[in-house]
Amino acid sequence: MAPPSAYDERLLLTRLKEGDELAFEQVYQLYAKKILGNIVKLVKSESTAAELLQEVFVKLWFSREKIDVDRPLSPYLFRIAQNQVYDFFRKAARKLQVIIDLSANNKDGYVHIEEDLFQAEAVRHLQEFISNLPPKRRTIFKMIKLDGLSYAEVSLHLNISESTINDHIVKATRHIQQQMNLLYPGAISVAIILHFS
């Protein structure tokens, strides 16, 4: 789809700002492919990039009232995408650090290259198990455990009860723990789950 003229984009952004879902879909069609390509270059994974792309547009929708219709949308979207990629790497590093700390305690601070690869593989499996959760459960799990939101904040954001949120968190954590224990029995799996407790 060809980029809109400045006038057309202003009209489109005005509609988006007012909550027009069709305008939102048009914005997605205009910019998603290019943004996805840039994210793939950074994270080196099409599946991860696709997930981050969805988060970019979720953030755009929920922050639509802040859009300046007199400015091009593209730089704003790419800034959101860049922040999502930074958050992704920060979270991955935080998960990996839990495992590295455990290994350091057991090896007097020395971690072999083979162990580094093992740790990275463990984090990859952890991310895979989170991604395979049912969509709603995955969203709730990420908001609570990765984004650090409170139950009250998630309840308000998703319009569900805190007891429902807790049920999803308990089931998600149990599922992830079971899957990790199958691959990494013992302390390393426990360390990962404690990170999410």
Q: Got the DSSP string for 90-153?
A: HHHHHHHHHHHHHHHHHTTT---HHHHHHHHHHHHHHHHHHHTS-HHHHHHHIIIIIS---HHH
CATH class of 109-195: mainly alpha
Give per-residue pLDDT as tens, 129-184: 888 899 999 999 888 877 778 888 899 999 999 899 989 988 888 888 788 777 76
- Tell me the domain boundaries of the chain: 6-87, 109-195
Whether the predicted model's global pTM rises above the 0.75 cut: no
Say yes or no to pLDDT of 109 above 60: no
Best CATH choice for the domain 6-87 from the list 3.50.50.60, 3.90.930.12, 1.10.1740.10, 3.80.10.10: 1.10.1740.10
